[in-house]
Amino acid sequence: MVGLRSDVQNWAMHGSNVIMHQSRLPLDAPTAEQQRFLSLFLRSEKEIYRYVAVLVPNISDAEDIVQQTALALWAKFDAYDPAQPFTPWACRFALNKARQWIERHQRWRALLERGLGEELEQRREELRPELELRLRHLQTCLEKLPQDQRSLVEDYYHRRTGIDELADNSGRTVAATYKALQRIRQALQLCIERAALSKGAL
């Protein structure tokens, strides 16, 4: 099992966002089965991440959960029915991993208790078409950000620069850096809503 997990980590270096940030293992040639799993996983990875992020939005925690999900999926891959879509199957594993993580973190348990976690997952499924329509404007809106805000977003989300380092670099406090990110997200949301409205998407 340990060997298999290492394999997963190796293959993921082909393109997985999540595992890529955490592994520097050399690349081995994958078998046909491994290649099939990798192909399916990579195609679903972003959706799995977003599925997890509804419950656990913090980036590093969500990435950890997706990584654990990848390992669990490979371990059970022989039980996967190719006639069925991969993503829902994978998301069930992701949900279990997310729940296990939440169980270990009292604060998140309090946030999602009394059925709210399930409610959020269900509602997100209902909203998905609309979320797709709205968020297709995200790239355009990102490009409209002033350069300093765009740099901050890129550094935080793309380069995964830590908040302390971002604060040091900008001369802001850590709290002000979090606040700046919050304001940028608000600006992006407003831009997306305007764009969606003007395109008649709503």
What part of residues 94-113 is at the interface with another protein (CB under 8 A)? Answer: 106-108, 110-113
Residues of this chain, 32-61, that bind another protein according to CB under 8 A: 42-43, 45-47, 49-50, 53-54, 57-61
Q: Which residues contact 69 (CB under 8 A, 6 or more apart)?
A: 48, 52, 90, 93, 94, 97
Query: Is position 165 an interface residue for another protein (rule: CB under 8 A)?
Result: no
DSSP secondary structure letters along 112-161? HTTTHHHHHHHHHHHHHHHHHHHHTTHHHHHHHS-HHHHHHHIIIIIS--
**Angle 19-23-25 (CA atoms, 0-180°, nearest 5)?**
130
Please say which residue, 5 or 50, places its beta carbon nearer to another protein: 50
The secondary structure of residue 77, as a DSSP letter, is: G
Contact with another protein (CB under 8 A): which of 29, 32, 84, 158? 158
Query: Is position 180 an interface residue for another protein (rule: CB under 8 A)?
Result: yes
Contact with another protein (CB under 8 A): which of 2, 24, 32, 83? 24
Minimum distance, C-beta of residue 43 to another protein, in the bound complex (Å): 6
> Would you give the binding string for another protein spanning residues 56-95, x where CB under 8 A is met?
-xxxxxx---------------------------------
The gap between the terminal CA atoms of the chain, to the nearest Å, is 49
The CA–CA distances, whole Å, from 65 to 19, 25, 40, 133, 156 equal: 11, 20, 18, 27, 20
Task: Answer yes or no: are the C-beta atoms of 169 and 115 closer than 8 Å.
Answer: no
Please say which residue, 75 or 145, places its beta carbon nearer to another protein: 145
The residue to which tokens 């001369």 are assigned: 171
Contact with another protein (CB under 8 A): which of 148, 164, 165, 168? 148
> Would you give the binding string for another protein spanning residues 126-145, x where CB under 8 A is met?
xxxxxxxxxxx-xx--x---
Please say which residue, 6 or 149, places its beta carbon nearer to another protein: 149
Q: What is the dihedral of CA 181, 184, 189, 192, to 10 degrees?
A: -130
Contact with another protein (CB under 8 A): which of 6, 13, 72, 99? 13
Please say which residue, 62 or 73, places its beta carbon nearer to another protein: 62
